[in-house]
A and B are shown apart, each in its own frame.
Chain A
Amino acid sequence: MYKKIDLSMKFLGICLENPFILSAAPSTDEFDIAYNGLKAGWGGVILKTTSVEGNPVPLKYPMMSSFGSMSRKVIGLGNIDLISEHHIDEIEKRVKTLREVFPEKMIAASIMGAKKEDWQTLVWRLKKAGVDLIECSFSCPQGSMGEESGRMLAQSVEATEKVARWVKEAAEDTPVLIKITPQVTDIVEVAKAVKRGGADGITASNTIPSLLGLDIDTFEPYPSLFGKGAYSGLSGPAIKPITLRTIAEIAKNVDITISGNGGAFNWRDAVEFMAVGASNVQFCTLPMHYGFRTIEDLKSGFAHYLSDIGFNSPLDVVGKALPNIKSQDELPSPKTRAELVEEKCVGCGLCYSACYDGGHMAIDWDSEKRLPHFDDEKCVGCAMCMQVCPVDAIKMNEKIDGSNSVHYFVEKR
């Protein structure tokens, strides 16, 4: 009964009904699951990474682990998964069927190979099956084929350029995305290599190599397979800030289309990913955790955002924050001080504690009234107090010289 706001957009020439894509992951490794995802309303699907026939995929279980608190158990999700176990024949069939059933959705596939022939054969077969787009996994934390064990293709600038060229050569007019890793010294060099190789875009980025934790009684890492564990690929809200930085760095330095991936958990995250340069956003941990039904709030929240801010298309968000991202030395030097909004303060004293033991001893504590008092002389304006305030009762102000007006810095929320 409510008017729907149009979220459709073009991505590398492909029509997307919304910018939310299911990434190459467990959620896209079974036909029925991928089908259900598209049916639920996701804009597109990238089927889980496949490879040439004959390559065994020795999956190990249990493969998932996580960290978080009791009330929010999955802040970071780890996996020791590998590529799909399904044969390329099977993936081809799925692409054909999905293509028929969902003509309006983006149907893409992810591939990984070792030799040039592998990569190119995969591309030809999938292209023939009717994919809209091919994504190349250069960054599975469990290692890429043909590279040293545990090493990712995208960690080598030369290999990245070379393989990107092979793939694009075979793909011709079918768009190609290269999925890279933030686990490199200079992400810009890798992005430039992708561009030189001729690929159409970059998926930035992937899970991040990590160690999820240990059982401190037995010293077994998580997930533990009879006491032994391996490094996991980390996903979920924990990696969002790293992904934001990765996308922004690429977008600021290389003129190439970006698909955002890694840590987006809601429509607000998606807006942020797009504002630093992504044209769409891929999801995996969110639907794995709460199901495909999460697309409803993604679409609705994003649509309301667009209409509230006055944008006509999701693409209007893309890159909006980039001019504001500077290096530290380029930033202005405002004289800012913490200021208490007394009517919001609940008197917990956390700002006092943080400033006294971790800041500049610029807050006095009135234990009678349970109120902090900010000393403008001692306060340097670091904003640590603002981070710990449970009720957002602290603002950072800047008194404009020679006038009575005050400028307030943007708050965290």
Chain B
Amino acid sequence: MEEIEKTFSEEQAEIEAERCLYCYDAPCEAACPAHVPITEFIQSIRTSNLKGAREIIQEAHPLIETCGRICPEESFCQSVCTRIKMDTPIKIRELHRYITDNTDPSKNLELVPATKERIAIVGGGPAGLACARELRRFGYLPVVFEKKQLGGIPANEISATRLPEEIEKKEARFIHQNFVSEIKDATIKSVGELNKEYGAIFIATGLSDELDLDIPGNNLDGVYYSRELLKRAKSGTKLPHFKRVGVIGGGNVAVEVASVLKIEDPLRDVEVIYRRGIKELKAFKKEIEEAIEVGVTFQFLAIPKEIKGDKRVEGLVVTRAHLDEKDVSGRRHPVPVPNSDFIIPLDAVVIAIGQKADVYFPEVKRDEKGLIKVSDGLMTNVKGVFAGGDIVRGASTVVECVADGKKAAQSIVEYLEGGKNV
């Protein structure tokens, strides 16, 4: 499938790079969880030093091809760009992508010999890979446990129209070849399984399960879960045949699966059904824009009440909502309007209301949502066992998971070497 967003041309990139003020102590860099030296790489674009620019980004971030495409820049670097006070922010992510699209991973690596302990990293997603790379740079031997394709959600679920498979594979392969000591095709379910063989453990398993929608009819034929569909789409499997589908939810996954369904069959009606309003959508701006672009429609202020049907889905009963005061999430709370039920005729319903953690690793303490509790240095209650990424943060972004992976690696080195060499 073709990517929706096109990379900058040389002219576009140079003109955009010229707009950058090259701020001192730049706010964009501080706002990037991975602390990518943004002004430095933009300066290198200005001088046509793309190889140098690539090295600058790659030094700070292991998944730059991925982040160049899917990072929600409006939440990070671009949200604090000084240029906002003058006109519009620099399109930082697109400049970043311009570099990665026009250069190959720099193989000009100089690594210390890997002579230190083996470290177990459970999960080969962004947090795990970032941690592995950092540890290898310190001379450790990272062993990654992963049953699926390396790369986590970006590799296995994010739509190919936003992140082509070959891009993600190339990037994961580069990390695998250069930084990962060994990949083990095994599921680890407890700290105890990783005996004394490993100097430390980093749990970065992400959120593997999806939240159920507890309404009547959720077991009918034609009810699907979003991430299952995304995985099938990404692996190239054809999706079930349905013509009118409602996607329940308002986050990135909901919007993403809606786009995927619409792109796969443009004649299919795809509607995102969300209980709050347009302003409360949690999905990122770019994803919403792309969904609208491909023809996804939205039904706002609609609280799902019941999935109707005999054996198969025939429709969704929803109650109209109005928005009340802000709730704990900081967004206005939907309140049902009495006697306002109506039915949306559908032949399939996709549930995309969020994800939850699995219940493995009984040794580590979790919070009420099932997320692993960690210290500032990302250590769990078990000595030598660290955790990061979505399993700690809840659903988050690639760049935040990368930041966790980097931080965990530093903490592991500190833990093993007592503050030396950090």
Listed in ascending order, the chain A residues whose CB lies under 8 Å from chain B are 69-71, 346-350, 352-353, 365, 367, 370, 390-391
B179 to chain A, nearest CB (A): 33
B81 to chain A, nearest CB (A): 10
B11 close to chain A: CB less than 8 A: yes
Contact A347 B82 (CB under 8 A): yes
Looking at the complex, which of B18-26, B60-68, B132-140, B181-189 is the stretch in contact with chain A?
B18-26
A394 to chain B, nearest CB (A): 14
Q: Can you sample 13 A-B contacts with CB below 8 Å?
A: A69-B14, A70-B18, A71-B15, A71-B18, A346-B82, A346-B83, A346-B85, A346-B86, A347-B27, A348-B21, A349-B26, A350-B21, A365-B25
Q: What is the 8 Å Cβ interface bit string for chain B, positions 77-106, against chain A (1 contact, 0 not)?
A: 000001101100000000000000000000
B82 to chain A, nearest CB (A): 5
| Interface class of chain A by DSSP | loop
A348, A352, A365, A390, most chain B CB atoms within 10 A: A348
Contact A70 B27 (CB under 8 A): no
Contact A390 B14 (CB under 8 A): no
User: Which A residues are CB-close (under 8 A) to B15?
Assistant: 70-71
| Nearest B residue (CB) for A344 | B85
Residue from B18, B21, B25, B26 in contact with A390 in the complex, judged by beta carbons closer than 8 Å: B21
User: Which B residues are CB-close (under 8 A) to A353?
Assistant: 24
Q: What is the 8 Å Cβ interface bit string for chain B, positions 349-380, against chain A (1 contact, 0 not)?
A: 00000000000000000000000000000000
Known: A71-B18, A348-B82. 14 other contacts (CB 8 A): A69-B14, A70-B15, A71-B15, A346-B21, A346-B83, A347-B23, A347-B82, A348-B23, A348-B24, A349-B23, A370-B25, A390-B21, A391-B85, A391-B86
B14, B15, B18, B24, most chain A CB atoms within 10 A: B24
Contact A390 B24 (CB under 8 A): no
A70 to B19, CA, bound (A): 11
Contact B18 A349 (CB under 8 A): no
Contact B18 A370 (CB under 8 A): no
Which range holds the interface residue count of chain B?
10 to 19
B263 to chain A, nearest CB (A): 34
A322 to B143, CA, bound (A): 77
User: Which A residues are CB-close (under 8 A) to B14?
Assistant: 69-71
Contact A350 B24 (CB under 8 A): yes
| Nearest A residue (CB) for B83 | A346
User: Which A residues are CB-close (under 8 A) to B22?
Assistant: 348, 350
A71 to B15, CA, bound (A): 6
B25 to chain A, nearest CB (A): 5
Given that A348-B82, A391-B86 are known contacts, is A70 also in contact with B24, CB under 8 Å in the complex? no
A350 to B18, CA, bound (A): 15
A347 to B86, CA, bound (A): 11
A370 to B25, CA, bound (A): 9
A376 to chain B, nearest CB (A): 21
A346 to B14, CA, bound (A): 23
A391 to B87, CA, bound (A): 11
Contact A349 B85 (CB under 8 A): no
A391 to B23, CA, bound (A): 13
User: Which A residues are CB-close (under 8 A) to B83?
Assistant: 346
A71 to B18, CA, bound (A): 8
Contact B24 A349 (CB under 8 A): yes
Residues in B6-52 with C-beta less than 8 Å from chain A: 11, 14-15, 18, 21-27
Closest 7 CB pairs of A and B: A349-B24, A70-B14, A346-B85, A353-B24, A348-B23, A348-B21, A71-B15
B11, B25, B26, B27, most chain A CB atoms within 10 A: B25
A71 to B11, CA, bound (A): 8
A385 to B328, CA, bound (A): 46
| Nearest A residue (CB) for B23 | A348
A413 to chain B, nearest CB (A): 15
User: Which A residues are CB-close (under 8 A) to B24?
Assistant: 348-350, 352-353, 365
User: Which B residues are CB-close (under 8 A) to A352?
Assistant: 24
| Nearest B residue (CB) for A72 | B18
User: Which B residues are CB-close (under 8 A) to A370?
Assistant: 25, 27
| Nearest B residue (CB) for A370 | B27
User: Which B residues are CB-close (under 8 A) to A347?
Assistant: 23, 27, 82, 85
User: Which B residues are CB-close (under 8 A) to A367?
Assistant: 25
User: Which A residues are CB-close (under 8 A) to B86?
Assistant: 346, 390-391
User: Which B residues are CB-close (under 8 A) to A346?
Assistant: 21, 82-83, 85-86
User: Which B residues are CB-close (under 8 A) to A365?
Assistant: 24-25
Contact B25 A350 (CB under 8 A): no
Given that A71-B18, A390-B86, A391-B86 are known contacts, is A350 also in contact with B11, CB under 8 Å in the complex? no
A367 to B25, CA, bound (A): 8
